[in-house]
């Protein structure tokens, strides 16, 4: 029997997430845009870490997105557009992007690009 610990994706992601979060934090002037990417769904939040408040959030499980039949990458782009519009309506224009330990590739990149195109600066 091997004494080596087996590693899986969730432990690697949590290690990378801690490494990312160690260096960034959301403030009142520049809140954090946090991304969660599941196997089927995706969600994002704009968070003010100083006061511990979620300013805006969007999820692919919301009623308006469930009825839309698109690919997961296209859904991420729709979420980026929605979180940008919800953030700008609350007065947020600049954010710090927290990729949550995921690679900046695919759905995470699609969400970030769509948020940038629709008014968020990061």
Q: pLDDT in tens for each of the 122 residues of the chain?
A: 555 555 666 678 888 888 888 888 888 899 999 999 999 999 999 999 999 999 999 999 999 999 999 999 999 999 999 999 999 999 999 999 999 999 999 999 999 999 999 999 99
* Separation CA 52–CA 44 (nearest Å): 16
Domains located in the chain, CATH noted: 11-117 (3.30.420.100)
* Separation CA 97–CA 11 (nearest Å): 21
Q: What is the C-alpha radius of gyration for the chain, rounded to an integer number of angstroms?
A: 15
120, 33 contact by CB (below 8 A): yes
Q: What is the pTM of this model?
A: 0.86
């Amino acid at each position: 029997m091997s004494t080596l610990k087996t590693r899986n994706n969730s432990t690697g992601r949590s290690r990378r997430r801690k490494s990312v979060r160690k260096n960034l934090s959301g403030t009142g002037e520049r809140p954090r845009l946090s991304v969660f990417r599941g196997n089927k769904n995706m969600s994002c939040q704009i968070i003010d870490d100083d006061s511990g408040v979620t300013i805006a959030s969007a999820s692919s499980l919301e009623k308006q997105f469930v009825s839309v039949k698109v690919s997961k990458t296209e859904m991420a782009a729709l979420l980026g557009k929605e979180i940008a519009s919800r953030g700008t309506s609350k007065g947020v224009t600049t954010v710090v992007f927290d990729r949550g330990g995921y690679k900046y590739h695919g759905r995470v990149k699609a969400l970030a690009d769509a948020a940038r195109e629709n008014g968020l600066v990061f």
